[in-house]
Structure formats: C-alpha cells, structure tokens
Structure 1
Amino acid sequence: MRRFLWLPILLLAGCATTPVEVQRPAQPDAPFTFNGRVAFKHGEQRESAGVRWVHSPAEDEILFLAPLGQTVARIHRDANAVTLDASGQHHAAQDMETLMQQELGWQLPLSGLRYWVTGLPAPDGQSSIERDANGQMSVLRQQGWEIHYTRYAAVAPDALPLRLRLTRDDMEVLLLIDDWEAQ
C-alpha cells in the first residue's frame, strides 16, 4: 500500500513544466505570434479587445476578439494590400496606417508596431531609446510615438515585452501580451 502513495506525487511531478524564457528572435523581422489584450483611448473614445497577431515578413494577420473569443475585426496585410474586415464590411488600402485612418479616423502605427512589440525600433527612421538597469528598453521614441515598456517575459536584455503603453498626442494604446510564440 505504501508504494502506491508515491504514485500521485510521481504523476504530478511528470506534469510539471519548466518556465520558458521567451527571447527576442535573432532576426529583426522574424515571424512571431502572440495573444493578448489591447485597449485604445483616443480623446473621449475608448475601446478594448482581445488580440491575436500572427506575423511573418510576407504577411500579417491581426484578429481583434470579443470577450468570449469571437472575431470582431480582422486586419490582413500581404504584398498586394491591407484589408480590414469588420461588421460584415470589407475595406482595403495600400498600407496599414492609411487603412486605420480611413476607417477609424486615427492612425495606429502597425508597420512600426511589428518591431516595437519585440522590443526593437523600426529600421526605417530615427529613434531615441532609454534602457533600464537590466539593459532592457524602457522607453522608445519613434515616428512621433512614445512607447513605454513596463513588463518583460524575463530579466534579460533580449527578453520579449509583455506590457507596452504607446502614446501620441491624445492617443493611448495599452498592449498586454499573454503569450508569445517567437521563431
């Protein structure tokens, strides 16, 4: 009977996982996927949603999700165009910023954001960077935006960010990343 008392403990130990330190991809525009939450504030307008972003150098797919996980909007970028599908309507433009301006009345810097979410400045344009004591980026200023990095997946200079706050004029975006898949 005593030898069976150890069985549940051994089974539970076999289920334990070691935490994985998520590190920034080696290449600046490497593929990644993340799931999280996003909140937008523009003047008096406030919106929030779940978000799933699948990125590769050739294309992006960004899904905005309702609280129960239903897709409420989908942004897709490929070499030909950028499309936004929401509320049964389909919209297209040549780049993400133009599409956001057309449909929402404000620009979200999605072409820069694909770098910023990995803790890197976008390669096109000047930037100003502040780092914390661990060598991690704490503030990035680029393209008229100020990006504050307030939480990382690990305490290492190449760890991926988990919490970003972007501000520009009267626009504020809070991005909380729950899980990363970086390649």
Structure 2
Amino acid sequence: MRPLLTCLTWCGLLLLAGCAGLQHSAPGSQNWDQHRAQLEQMRHWTANGKIALRNAGQAESGSLLWQQRDTSTHIRLSGPMGFSATTVDSDGKLLEIRQGDDYSRWALDDPALAENAVWHLPVSALHYWLKGMPAPQLPVDSITLDAEGSLPSEISQQGWTVEYRDFAQFERFTLPTSLRLYRDEVSARIILRHWGGFSAP
C-alpha cells in the first residue's frame, strides 16, 4: 500500500492548527442529561472543518468533511497532506478508501487494518466524540462538565482523553467547534466550522 494510503487507514480506526475567534455558545436551560439525550437523537448530520494529526514521528493536517447517516459514514479529506480527492466510506462493518486510482477495502474488525494504520485512533467512537458525547458502546472512564453542568469539557474513554475547547449553536443543537483528543504520543486537533444536515429528533 502506498505511504499516503497507509496513512489514510487512520480513518477506519476513527470509525471505527487552531482557529481563533470561535465563540462558546451558552446551552440555555438544558442540563447535561437533557443535552446528551438530544445528541442521541441526532443521527443524520454533516460537519466540516480542519484536522491536524501528530505522533512521535510525523504530523499531518488538512480539511475534513464528515457526513453521518445512522451507522453509515462518508469522510472526505483534502489539503496539504495530499488528501486531494480522497474519500473514506463505511457502513459500520466495511471500510472503503479511494484516492485517485487507488482503492482498498477492509473489514473494520480485520487485524490487518490496525497493523497498517499510522494513526491508532479508536474504532467506532469518534463520531460520538465529535458531537460532544461519550461513545455509548464503550465504558466511560470520566466526564468533566463545564461550570453550568451542561456541556462536557473533557471525556475519557479507552485511555483516550477528549478536550473540548469551544461550542457554538447550530440550529437547535449546541455542538463542538474545537476539540483535541490524545493518548500517549498520538493526538488530533479538530476544528469544525459548520454543522448541518440534521435529522428531526
């Protein structure tokens, strides 16, 4: 597999820089339980922004488009990484990566996927973390809420820490616009400038 395509397999494990001036949006009268219940109903959505990845040996950055439709995921990466015209698609069981004429297909539970991945990020958790909630299928190590007790400032699961820097209001949802996740020497910073395409609760 080409080095770039190898790098792209981190997306399968996601399923599996900063931006100044983003404003924190007050969540109104919702408490954490109400906010989380609302996010659980948010099954169709689109988010776009930027992502920066770093480990002990390398750093990459580029633009990110994420579309979620229940368990189906479509990701498009582009920018300085050379991710131009690169897409990643998954139905929750299989993963397909396309970059130009290159194509690969994996089962998400295939050990070879993890062996070929540069970025060892957790399976099936990130689309929950992007919304600002813990992945329901994983044990929760800890959750720290903001001063109002409405939004998470930090979530820990499977040894990963997700730090939330900013939130903003998009239609009826209060959603992250800046977050960082890390474990050991691997970290990712994600800026989400726009959320949309929501399904009705």
- Of residues 147, 156, 160 in structure 2, which corresponds to 1:141? 156
| Distance in 1, Cα, partners of 2:36 & 2:193 | 15
* Secondary structure, aligned partner of 1:159: strand
- How far the C-alpha of 1:70 sits from its partner, in A, is 7.3
Q: For residues 3-82 of structure 1, what are the structure 2 equivalents within 5 Å?
A: 26=38, 28=40, 30-66=43-79, 71-78=84-91, 81-82=94-95
Q: Cα–Cα, structure 1 residues 173 and 96, in superposed 2: closer, same or farther, change >3 Å?
A: farther
Tell me, which stretches of 5 or more residues in structure 1 are unaligned? 1-19
Residue 173 (structure 1) aligns with: 188
- How far the C-alpha of 1:83 sits from its partner, in A, is 1.1
| Distance in 1, Cα, partners of 2:144 & 2:51 | 24
RMSD between aligned residues: 2.9
Q: Counterpart of 2:70 in structure 1: which amino acid?
A: P
Q: For residues 101-112 of structure 1, what are the structure 2 equivalents within 5 Å?
A: 101-112=114-125
Does 1 or 2 have the higher relative contact order (CA < 8 Å, sep 6+)?
2
* TM-score of the aligned structures, taking structure 1 as reference length: 0.75
Q: Cα–Cα, structure 1 residues 73 and 58, in superposed 2: closer, same or farther, change >3 Å?
A: same
Report the more deviating stretch, 108-117 or 33-42: 108-117
| Distance in 1, Cα, partners of 2:155 & 2:26 | 23
| Distance in 2, Cα, partners of 1:101 & 1:140 | 24
| 1:1-53 alpha-carbon deviations (Å, 9 max, x no partner) | xxxxxxxxxxxxxxxxxxx9998883526111011000000113000010000
- How far the C-alpha of 1:96 sits from its partner, in A, is 7.9
- How far the C-alpha of 1:123 sits from its partner, in A, is 0.6
| Distance in 2, Cα, partners of 1:111 & 1:138 | 21
Residue 19 (structure 2) aligns with: none
Highest Rg: 1 or 2? Answer: 1
Q: Cα–Cα, structure 1 residues 100 and 169, in superposed 2: closer, same or farther, change >3 Å?
A: farther
Tell me, which stretches of 5 or more residues in structure 2 are unaligned? 1-24, 28-34
Q: Cα–Cα, structure 1 residues 98 and 30, in superposed 2: closer, same or farther, change >3 Å?
A: farther
Q: Cα–Cα, structure 1 residues 171 and 61, in superposed 2: closer, same or farther, change >3 Å?
A: same
Q: Counterpart of 1:26 in structure 2: which amino acid?
A: Q
Residue 31 (structure 2) aligns with: none
| Distance in 1, Cα, partners of 2:146 & 2:78 | 33
Identity rate, percent: 27
* TM-score of the aligned structures, taking structure 2 as reference length: 0.69
| 1:123-157 alpha-carbon deviations (Å, 9 max, x no partner) | 11211100111321000001221000010004xxx
Residue 6 (structure 1) aligns with: none
- How far the C-alpha of 1:60 sits from its partner, in A, is 0.4
The answer to whether structure 1 residue 129 and structure 2 residue 143 are counterparts is: yes
Q: Counterpart of 2:98 in structure 1: which amino acid?
A: D
| Distance in 1, Cα, partners of 2:132 & 2:139 | 15
| Distance in 2, Cα, partners of 1:62 & 1:78 | 12
